[in-house]
Amino acid sequence: MFIADHFLIPTGKGKYLLIWRGYTYSEITGKYYCSARQTKVKCKARLKLDAGGNIASAEGEHDHAPPKYIYTAGQWNVCENHVMIPTRRGKYLLMWRGYTYSEITGKYYCSAKQTLVKCKARLKLDAEGNIVSADGEHEHEPPKYVRRPNGAYVKVKGRYYPDRY
């Protein structure tokens, strides 16, 4: 018998994903199969639950990394990657979903927090730099950045003329 260290998250389609040890499982006829089973990975890991909803058995090994989820706006979402953009002052802006965030005493706040917009969106990162939570909604458009051929990001104001960057 395994310890009940798993939980269910709604999928938005009326079903649930089971998360255990960072991996997600989908229910198919009473058994839970790794969600990567139906991708190119074809993972064979699976779980069985007992009548009390506890994990009774786990079979197969994962040959892939677990997906990353964060709790945002009252629901679990797949975490997309973020980018750290170096600034002229030697600090970094965190760019996620097109919006930029500045670090203030270990927390990341929307860069528009200190402008007339006063945006309250913020992020929390774990010790490895992964986004673990996102709070607040943006009520403004994201800033415009372009990525130069050398990989550097440049903020664009007004119209964008590719030849200038």
Residue 74: what pLDDT? 61
Residue 72: what pLDDT? 56
Last residue of a domain, one of 25, 43, 67: 67
Sites in the chain below the pLDDT cut of 70 = 1-4, 11-13, 38-41, 68-80, 128, 158-165
Q: Count CB atoms within 10 A of the CB of residue 30.
A: 7
Residue 69: what pLDDT? 64
Number of structural domains in the chain: 2
Task: Using a cut of 0.85, tell me whether the model's pTM lies above it.
Answer: no
Answer yes or no: do 78 and 63 share one domain: no
Answer yes or no: do 116 and 153 share one domain: yes
**Residue 163 φ then ψ, to 5°:** -70, -20
Last residue of a domain, one of 17, 52, 67: 67
**Residue 35 φ then ψ, to 5°:** -65, -20
Answer yes or no: do 63 and 10 share one domain: yes
Distance of alpha carbon 67 from alpha carbon 130, whole angstroms? 12
Note the pLDDT tens digit of each residue in 106-139.
Answer: 889 999 877 777 899 999 887 767 787 888 889 8
Answer yes or no: do 34 and 55 share one domain: yes
Answer yes or no: do 95 and 144 share one domain: yes
Note the pLDDT tens digit of each residue in 23-33.
Answer: 888 888 888 99
**1 lies in a domain?**
no
Distance of alpha carbon 70 from alpha carbon 24, whole angstroms? 13
Tokens of 76: 């679990």
Answer yes or no: do 63 and 83 share one domain: no
Which CATH number is 109's domain given?
Answer: 2.20.25
**132 lies in a domain?**
yes
Answer yes or no: do 76 and 62 share one domain: no
Which CATH number is 46's domain given?
Answer: 2.20.25.240
Task: Quote the DSSP letter at residue 111.
Answer: G
**Residue 39 φ then ψ, to 5°:** -115, -170
Residue 76: what pLDDT? 61
